[in-house]
A and B are shown apart, each in its own frame.
Chain A
Amino acid sequence: MKPLELVCPAGTPAALRSAVQAGAHTVYCGFADETNARNFPGLNFSREDMHQAVAFAHQHGSKVLVAINTFPRAGDEDIWHRAIADAESAGVDAVILADVGLLAWAAARHPGLRLHLSVQAAAANPDVINFYASEFGVRRVVLPRVLSVAEIAAINREIDVETEVFVFGGLCVMAEGRCSMSSYATGKSPNMQGVCSPASHVQYVQDGADMISKLGAFTIDKAGKDEPAPYPTLCKGCFSARGEVSRVFEEPTSLNAAQLIPQLAKVGVTALKIEGRQRSRAYVAAVVRNFRAAVEATAAGRPIPADTLTHLSEGQSSTLGAYKKTWR
């Protein structure tokens, strides 16, 4: 059995090299501007970086995908159009898009360029996936992190394109590409500017032994001396509502679905995605190495090795997320 394709994050050229050397079949990355959903300070690739990164990856037998997965601002579409053209001229293996207009543009102007549908498109049923495939020639869809394994199996039975699913990293359980919480608090969003909880609006404040996280004018959470540092995102905050203090949206925990890899292979998933373009090359190397061992074990019919990646999880704890929907 062929191992599932491991699609790994790279926020910098150094992280890309680490991913490739650690065993990534494929690396995804983005340009240093608002065209990608990880537009954070000090991250991402210049045009020259991208050319060099693609050459390095191809020399080592790995592929490069470029995420151009924000939604173009009316009147400034040229920024996104240039990103697609530059990705193609760098020799990338595919671009990952979310916006319908941009998909139409790429299909018409860059017919030789392979198109993947970003998780930001939130395509979660066979009808919409088949629409993207028939209208724009999309070859792979990255499924949103809201589906169970059984639901992924049902989707795969009714579509002809490849599916890619998240197996590790930070969770985003909102309708991806539609979440406006960051915009509400800061005026900037992951969908338009590529920044969820932009660092320029995040503050961590020591209050005695406690640490408080703030986003814009909102206090999000407070952690005691021996607790993990709190998240800077509203969706993982702790709020008082109707007299009860709780995490209204979701727990500050990360996805780790390593143990589900055999099931995901069985239901026809093509590729496994690791989240974390904002993380260091130490994270990338460790997580890629672990997951490469896991997909090789699955392909060989061996058990998945036990993992010790919890210390690398945001929030220092992990979950199977929607793959096991115990709340339903």
Chain B
Amino acid sequence: MENDTTIPRIPGLAQRLVAPLPPPLIGSLAARLMRQAGKSHPELFARLGEHAYKRYEIAPSDLPFVFLMTPDPAAPQLRVLRKGRASWDCRISGSLAALLGMIHGAYDGDALFFSRDITVEGDTAAGLALRNAIDNSEIDLFEEATALLGPLRSRAIPGLTPLVNALERRTGVALRRVEL
């Protein structure tokens, strides 16, 4: 049988490159990415129901900042803050590789939770709703990011796809949706 799982780590060099970036710059890019994902997957908001209006802190343990988001369908918000500065309803933390792997369907959220690779604090129902809504949406952040390129997308894809695939192979981190 198959499918034993170990969580890879984001390489130290990548962490060192990202760490000094100003949070507002990352926040602006991440907010555009979230709005794009919401446009592509409107069913996500229906699954969240009342939990769409909660404040979620997504805290990658290997980065010096956190993502604070409210996936309100009318006005989705996302900000990037240094750690410890946000107030939240639900906080989900874990390595960036674990969080990306969960979004992309590489890992099971419960298994990550029971193995302590991720932690969930605060409003457990909100965390569960977000996890289930994202899992059902089969989001691919690479597809969403390239959609932001607009008319340049079709020209960029042939160059970017092999690059992302090579990065995935090299690091083991799920940078795209896993085809199950």
Residues on B with beta carbons closer than 8 Å to the beta carbon of A15: 135-136
Q: Is the CB of B2 within 8 A of A41?
A: no
Residues on B with beta carbons closer than 8 Å to the beta carbon of A200: 124-125
Q: Is the CB of B2 within 8 A of A308?
A: yes
Interface string of B116-153 (1 = CB under 8 A from A): 10011100111111111101111000000000000000
Query: Bound complex: CA of A98 vs CA of B17, how far in Å?
Result: 57
Residues on A with beta carbons closer than 8 Å to the beta carbon of B130: 42
Interface hit among B44-52, B62-70, B76-84: B44-52
Q: Is the CB of A204 within 8 A of B2?
A: no
* Residue with the highest number of chain A CB atoms closer than 10 Å, among B105, B108, B114, B125: B114
The contact of A12 among B3, B107, B136, by CB within 8 Å, is B136
Distance of A217 from chain B, by nearest CB (Å) = 15
Distance of A298 from chain B, by nearest CB (Å) = 14
Residues on A with beta carbons closer than 8 Å to the beta carbon of B105: 280-282
Q: Is the CB of A14 within 8 A of B137?
A: yes
A154 at the A/B interface (Cβ < 8 Å)? Answer: no
Q: Is the CB of B3 within 8 A of A290?
A: yes
Given A202-B124, A285-B180, A290-B2, A14-B135 contact (CB < 8 Å):
yes
The contact of A204 among B102, B106, B120, by CB within 8 Å, is B120
A286 at the A/B interface (Cβ < 8 Å)? Answer: yes
B109 at the A/B interface (Cβ < 8 Å)? Answer: yes
**CB within 8 Å of B: which residues of A?**
11-15, 18, 21-22, 40-43, 46, 198-200, 202-206, 211, 223, 225-229, 232, 258, 278-283, 285-286, 289-290, 293-294, 305-309, 311-312, 314-316
Residues on B with beta carbons closer than 8 Å to the beta carbon of A227: 116
Residues on A with beta carbons closer than 8 Å to the beta carbon of B3: 286, 289-290, 308-309, 312
Residues on B with beta carbons closer than 8 Å to the beta carbon of A211: 116, 119
Q: Is the CB of A293 within 8 A of B119?
A: no
Query: Bound complex: CA of A253 vs CA of B47, how far in Å?
Result: 30
Given A22-B180, A42-B131, A309-B1, A199-B115 contact (CB < 8 Å):
no
Q: Is the CB of B180 within 8 A of A279?
A: no
Given A305-B1, A314-B114, A282-B178 contact (CB < 8 Å):
yes
Residue on B nearest A198 in the bound complex, by CB: B125
Residue on A nearest B49 in the bound complex, by CB: A41
Q: Is the CB of B110 within 8 A of A314?
A: yes
B111 at the A/B interface (Cβ < 8 Å)? Answer: yes
Query: Bound complex: CA of A43 vs CA of B109, how far in Å?
Result: 14
Q: Is the CB of A280 within 8 A of B124?
A: no
* Residue with the highest number of chain B CB atoms closer than 10 Å, among A14, A42, A279, A285: A42
Q: Is the CB of B121 within 8 A of A14?
A: no
The contact of B132 among A11, A22, A282, by CB within 8 Å, is A11
Interface string of B166-180 (1 = CB under 8 A from A): 000000000000101
Known: A40-B132, A206-B119, A312-B111. 5 other contacts (CB 8 A): A42-B51, A204-B120, A283-B111, A311-B4, A311-B5
Query: Bound complex: CA of A227 vs CA of B114, how far in Å?
Result: 9
Residues on B with beta carbons closer than 8 Å to the beta carbon of A199: 124-125, 127-128
Given A42-B51, A305-B1, A206-B129 contact (CB < 8 Å):
no
Residues on A with beta carbons closer than 8 Å to the beta carbon of B129: 41-42
Please provide the 4 A-B residue pairs with the shortest distance between their CB atoms, ordered closest to farther. Answer: A42-B132, A41-B129, A12-B136, A42-B129
Q: Is the CB of B113 within 8 A of A286?
A: no
Residues on B with beta carbons closer than 8 Å to the beta carbon of A306: 1
* Residue with the highest number of chain B CB atoms closer than 10 Å, among A306, A312, A315, A316: A312
Given A42-B128, A204-B119, A280-B2 contact (CB < 8 Å):
no
Given A12-B136, A228-B115, A203-B131 contact (CB < 8 Å):
no
A-B contact pairs, 7 of them (CB 8 A): A12-B135, A42-B136, A43-B132, A199-B128, A203-B124, A280-B102, A308-B3
Residue on A nearest B46 in the bound complex, by CB: A46
Query: Bound complex: CA of A93 vs CA of B114, how far in Å?
Result: 35
Query: Bound complex: CA of A228 vs CA of B116, how far in Å?
Result: 6
The contact of B111 among A40, A205, A285, A311, by CB within 8 Å, is A311
